């Protein structure tokens, strides 16, 4: 008991000593592209905070017209004004979007005439017309713990919040790979990314995880650092041949065996189409 208490007391000290080396290792990926995006349109979901906000800010700085797709429209407008002031780009616009609400997604896509399955599907024709276009899906290293349970796909039989997160991140990667196969030759490419462990609002609902985040703060990336791989996949020239790949720290990253299973990816695509009432072809 005393040993455990001493370890807890001295752990922050040891983390502080090791922090410079470990922090450098964990935040080494940086998007160094100087590409300008004048005349381009970018859509960023969850753009009112964290990684999404930093991604939108960088894209606006490069001259793109940026749509902030946010659930909370007032927070989105506040962030839009902030980005406009910082970048001088007035083409930073806000659109209402709740990715948990299919009606919201359909309304957003209709109003806009990228993102999750239905949103991406509804915008595909526009993306093809605007080719070359790119879709970047934010996944996580947590996908290694994920599994696709088709008999419990929506957690209707049993549910665990932590595992559900892992399952969803695996689904992001499988979706990205299947989408890349289906879009081959269309001029639209797609990538999934692991942003790293980032100090964002993801942990706002858990006091325990907030405490852990504080304890290990030396190891955790800032939202700006977390956005680097998303930006890398969105704007780096010559990345088209790597469509469907998974990235971390601005480099191609290894994925789990489950994430490389084409049979599961195809079945998940078909089941998703069936659930949403959209064509499977």
For strand 246-248 and strand 251-252, is the pairing parallel, antiparallel, or unpaired? antiparallel
Token pair 């160094």: residue: 32
Name the DSSP letter for residue 57.
H
DSSP bridge partners of 191: 136
Distance of CA 198 to the CA centre of its chain: 12
**Spatial distance between the Cα atoms of 6 and 194, rounded to a whole number of angstroms:** 34
Q: Which residues are CB-contacts of 214 (< 8 A; sequence separation ≥ 6)?
A: none
Question: Cα separations (Å) of 88 from 40, 53, 63?
Answer: 16, 16, 9
Q: Which of 53, 125, 111, 115 is nearest to 86 (CA)?
A: 53
Q: Which of 18, 9, 8, 11 is nearest to 218 (CA)?
A: 18
Residues 75, 48 contacting (CB under 8 angstroms): yes
Alpha helices for the chain (secondary structure H): 2-26, 50-61, 73-87, 102-112, 117-129, 161-182, 207-215, 223-226, 228-235, 262-276
Query: Of these residues, 67, 159, 165, 232, which one is catalytic?
Result: 165
The answer to whether residue 165 is catalytic is yes
Active-site amino acid positions: 165
């Amino acid at each position: 008991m005393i040993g455990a208490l001493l370890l807890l007391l001295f752990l922050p000290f040891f983390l502080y000593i090791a922090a410079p080396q470990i922090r450098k290792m964990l935040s080494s990926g940086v998007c160094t592209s100087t590409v300008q995006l004048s005349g381009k349109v970018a859509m960023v979901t969850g753009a009112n905070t964290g990684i999404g906000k930093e991604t939108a800010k960088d894209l606006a700085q490069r001259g793109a017209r940026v749509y902030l797709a946010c659930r909370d429209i007032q927070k989105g407008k506040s962030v839009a004004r902030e980005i406009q002031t910082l970048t001088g780009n007035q083409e930073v616009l806000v659109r209402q979007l709740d990715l948990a609400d299919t009606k919201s997604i359909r309304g957003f896509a209709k109003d806009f005439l990228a993102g999750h399955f239905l949103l991406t599907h509804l915008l595909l024709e526009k993306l093809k017309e605007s080719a070359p276009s790119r879709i970047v899906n934010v996944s996580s290293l947590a996908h290694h713990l994920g599994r696709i349970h088709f008999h419990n796909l929506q957690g209707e039989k049993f549910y665990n919040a932590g595992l559900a997160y892992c399952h969803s991140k695996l689904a992001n990667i499988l979706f990205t790979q299947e989408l890349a196969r289906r879009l081959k030759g269309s001029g639209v490419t797609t990538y999934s990314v692991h942003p790293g462990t980032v100090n964002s609002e993801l942990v706002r609902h858990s006091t325990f995880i907030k405490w852990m985040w504080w304890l290990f703060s030396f190891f955790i990336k800032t939202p700006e650092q977390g956005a680097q791989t998303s930006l890398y996949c969105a704007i780096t020239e010559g990345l088209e041949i790597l469509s469907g790949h998974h990235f971390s720290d601005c480099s191609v990253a290894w994925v789990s065996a489950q994430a490389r299973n084409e049979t599961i990816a195809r079945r998940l695509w078909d089941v998703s189409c069936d659930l949403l009432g959209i064509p499977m072809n």
